[in-house]
Amino acid sequence: MATKIILLPGDGIGPEITAPTLELLSAVGTNFDYEEHAFGGASIDAHGTALTDATLAACRAADAVLLAAVGGPKWDSTDPSRPRPEQGLLGLRKGLGLYANLRPVRPLAALYDASPLKREVIQGTDLLVVRELTGGIYFGEKTRTAEGASDLCAYSRVEVERIARVAFRAARRKVSSVDKANVLETSRLWREVVRELHGAEFAHVELEHVLVDNAAMQLISNPADFDVIVTENMFGDILSDEAATLTGSIGMLPSASLGDAGSPGVFEPVHGSAPDIAGLGVANPLAMFLSAALMLRHGLGMEAEAAAIESAVDRALADGLRTRDLGGSASTHEATQAVLSNL
Ligand code: NAD
Ligand code: IPM
Ligand code: MN
């Protein structure tokens, strides 16, 4: 049976970076059975909700999900009763049990000068953010009254242990567990569970605990010191956008969201729908290309094809490809041609 991929182009630049990604996937010799679904704001417009039951069921039954981005000013509202595109993303992650979000940050030498940070600072950086994706403040009970609002942050031992295990297994050198244990009870539990798992199963891996405010500073002053960063949902969200600065642009960072073996993964760039440039044909498609590579590697076991995409991206950049976010003027189309010609 053909490999089934659910495509969720979503909103904003989403469709503009999805189409060239399919070209690239076919150029590396894949022959997938694609099924496209409206998602996020597009799904709100079509069906009144950001994620329909039918779309979630289709994702569950697929081999992998390739997602671009959701959201935009059209659906932004402070009214809690209005549907939001982002609810689709959260519902998909929760619905598929995708608790592990892997965000590799591997700045390429060709792009050192595209970063606002100094070359000497970036050099040698090759880190992985392992972000917990289905717990914490994102999913706790929310309240809203005329006078106030609250978001509950909760974690169970099981939730912390399973994400910590992903991090230890991915580590080559060291795990930096990032928390706010000097203030938050959830962080104290986090630290305790990570420490226990380390002692019981991963004592051969170096472990350090870093407070999140310090981690945010170290990430751009001494990034090469990190190997694997494991952290809770919201800290991971913020730190990964910060880490994107090391690679030259948020338009470079891919991600893989994985659950337990057997559940399909979701593969998507770290960036959003970039409403400020949507429709202009200038979005950087590379984070989406690299997300497709992660899909091939982690979701479908196609390492050779994954590596082919990654090295074509590297070579195109080494040849001078620069989209606007990287300080150049290449359009999405030109960027796609540059990568295709380096395959
Ligand atoms: P954003 O990541 O969409 O954009 C931030 C900045 O980076 C903008 O200046 C944008 O033009 C630029 N940028 C992002 N991706 C780019 C690319 N591929 N090429 C060139 N430039 C790029 O973040 P935001 O503006 O804070 O959010 C916009 C919307 O996206 C919001 O509705 C937000 O909720 C949503 N969002 C969705 C996802 C997702 O679907 N996974 C992730 C983040 C934000
Ligand atoms: C991301 C995004 C999402 C998140 C939003 C859009 C819900 O910022 O994937 O990083 O916060 O997880
Ligand atoms: Mn984010």
Angstrom distances, CA of residue 152 to CA of 45, 137, 297: 30, 6, 35
Q: Which residues surround ligand 3, an ion (CB under 5 A)?
A: 237
The pLDDT value recorded for residue 25 is 98
Region(s) of the chain under CATH 3.40.718.10: 1-97+106-115+248-343
User: Is residue 325 in contact with ligand 2, taking CB distance under 6 Å?
Assistant: no
Answer whether 237 contacts ligand 2 (Cβ < 6 A): yes
Q: Are the C-beta atoms of residues 32 and 25 closer than 8 Å to each other?
A: yes
Domain with CATH 3.40.50 in the chain: 123-236
β-pairing verdict for 33-36 and 142-144 = unpaired
* Catalytic (active-site) positions: 138, 180, 213, 237, 241
Secondary structure of residue 237 in the 3-state scheme: helix
- Average pLDDT (101-120) is 96
The protein residue whose alpha carbon is closest to atom 6 in ligand 2 is 86
Report how far ligand 1's centroid is from the alpha carbon of 213 (Å).
23
Distance of CA 238 from the midpoint of ligand 3 (Å) = 6
Q: For 134-159, what is the mean pLDDT? A: 97
* 63: exposed, middle or buried (Cβ count in 10 Å: 0-12, 13-18, 19+): middle
Give the tens place of pLDDT for each residue, 2-19. Answer: 999 999 999 999 999 999
Residue 247 is encoded by which pair of tokens?
Answer: 């690679």
Class of the domain covering 123-236: alpha beta
The residues facing 170 across adjacent strands are none
Q: Does ligand 2 come within 6 angstroms of the Cβ of 253? A: no
How far is residue 95's CA from residue 118's CA, in Å, rounded to a whole number? 41
Tell which residue, 80, 148, 125, 94, has the closest CA to residue 244. 125
Nearest ligand for residue 114 CA: 1
263 pLDDT higher than 80: yes
Q: Which residues pair with 265 in a beta bridge?
A: 64
Alpha carbon 129 to chain centroid, angstroms: 9
Indicate the pLDDT class of residue 312, thresholds 50, 70 and 90.
very high
pLDDT in tens, 60-87: 999 999 999 999 999 999 999 999 999 9
Give pLDDT, residue 293.
98
Distance 90 CA to ligand 2 centre (A): 8
Tokens of 175: 């795990």
Task: Tell whether the model's pLDDT for residue 1 goes beyond 80.
Answer: no
Q: Nearest Cα to 67, choosing from 8, 128, 120?
A: 8
pLDDT of residue 261: 86
Helices 53-61 and 85-95 pack at an angle, to 10 degrees, of 40
CATH number of 1-97+106-115+248-343: 3.40.718.10
Give the separation between CA 330 and CA 320, rounded to whole angstroms: 10
Tokens found for residue 198: 């380390």
